[in-house]
Amino acid sequence: MSRAMHKLSARRVETIKASGWHGDGGGLWLRIDSSGSRKWVFAWERSKRRREMGLGAASDITLATARDLAAEARALLAQGLDPIEERRAKAAEQEAPVTTDEAADEISSVPTFGQFAETYIDAHEDGWKNPKHRQQWRNTIKTHAKSLLNKPVDAITSDDVVTVLRPIWRKVPETAGRLRGRIENILDAAKASKHIVSPWENPARWRGNLMHLLPRRAKKSQVKHHAAMPYDDLPDFMGKLQRRPASAARALELTILCATRTNETLKMTWSELDLEQAVWTVPGDRMKMGIEHRIPLPGKAVELLKAQARTSNQAPDAYVFAGQKPGKPLSQMAMTMVLRRMNLGHFTVHGMRSCFRDYMGDMTDHPESLVEQALAHQIGDETTRAYRRGDAFIKRRSLMQEWQDYLLPVQKPLKKKQDGINLAQANVRTSVPA
């Protein structure tokens, strides 16, 4: 959690429009999604796992109240407790006891799949960092599992699940696979909530169940990789790229220099940068692995960002590479279009990370684990990560500087070489006896 506290003001909360995560400090965030929905979120990290707890809509919860709620959550963390679990326990204690047969019948009634699916999603969506992921959960269930929505969770059979999956099983296999897993999770949760009694076997389970009822899908013959430029060609390409004036070209240049992902660059805000210390800190909610990532900025990257700052809105929450629409970053396709305009559209932006990986593996002696850390990849198993808590930042600074030196080799001025030769010749002449 950030050390700075109370970075937002009540006026700022009312007027801010840009979508994204706006930090107040101490784990308190105002989250604004692409639809304009505004919500307070308390976020923390424990055992290398990011957790998020919704505190309520900003229209209902004031900044002062949100800060009080965040302070209560921090106090629970200090005691070694989980704020989410404590909130659930408190809510359970406050529920009115069943005192009549009518109330008992109401409590014991089994919810439909649609009702419990909404309950499940509401309970878990705070832990899903990607807004698109939240929407996909609801969309796949409402679109493809309509026939299950009105069925009681304890009445759903394997045949019901097969009926839902069969139409899309081969047509859109990825969607079908995700839908099956989501149905399985929802029904498992219904069982855990005592809406389904034993003996019972999850009808959406794959192994030993649906694997015998659905046709086998053809395996992909080859893994599709992102097309990458040979690293031998990168120095020449970088020279040409630096001569292009567009902001998208600068974004691509920085992406290559830092070996970052497209989204990490495009959604960078000025608050993530410390140009004096040459450090870019990407918060966990913007990283693929959900863990904060510090990037040591090589010298050219710092120069590039300082130049970008001279022509940009430097508000903390403003995007470094702003798009044409107010409060929006450059388009996801912006850097790809730079490659296409340079007649290199057969290569991908993400493939530049492969160039970095290949160069470091082929041409340097840096340990593989260090290179993987530079790419923000998970290293080793869970036990290894538990003992290896550092991020090798100093070593990675040297590694990234070496990458810059390869991409942008320093050209010695010709004039100095000539002056050096002339000076050496002059010294020779003066040392010869008359």
Q: Show the DSSP H helices in 4-82 as ranges.
A: 10-15, 63-78
- What is the H or E stretch that residue 295 is in? strand 293-296
With cut-offs at 50, 70 and 90, classify the pLDDT of residue 128.
Answer: low
Nearest CA to 251 among 376, 349, 371?
A: 349
Residue 384 has pLDDT above 50, yes or no: no
- Do residues 238 and 358 share a domain? yes
Is 26 domain-assigned?
yes
Sign of the torsion angle spanned by Cα atoms 242, 248, 252, 254: positive
- Do residues 244 and 326 share a domain? yes
pLDDT digits (tens, 9 = 90+) for 80-113: 888 888 887 777 666 545 444 444 444 447 899 9
Q: Which residues contact 110 (CB under 8 A, 6 or more apart)?
A: 152, 153, 154, 155, 195, 196
- Do residues 38 and 114 share a domain? no
Is 183 domain-assigned?
yes
How many CB atoms lie under 10 A from the CB of residue 116?
20
pLDDT at 135: 74
Is 219 domain-assigned?
no
Beta bridge partners of 42: 28, 53
* 280 and 273 Cβ atoms separated by less than 8 Å: yes
Is 422 domain-assigned?
no
- Do residues 194 and 151 share a domain? yes
| Alpha-carbon 385 to chain mean position | 19
In this structure, what token pair is assigned to residue 74?
Answer: 């921090």
pLDDT digits (tens, 9 = 90+) for 355-376: 998 898 888 888 888 998 899 8
Cα separation, 308 vs 312, whole angstroms:
6
CA end-to-end span of the chain: 77
- What is the H or E stretch that residue 184 is in? helix 173-192
Range of the domain at 204: 109-212
Number of structural domains found in the chain: 3
Q: What percentage of residues in the chain have a pLDDT greater than 70?
A: 82
Is 130 domain-assigned?
yes
- Do residues 137 and 15 share a domain? no
Residue 38 has pLDDT above 50, yes or no: yes
**Tell me, what CATH number does 161's domain have?**
1.10.150.130
In this structure, what token pair is assigned to residue 83?
Answer: 């704020």
* Exposure on the CB side of residue 303, measured as CA atoms within 13 A: 7
**Tell me, what CATH number does 262's domain have?**
1.10.443.10
Is 1 domain-assigned?
no
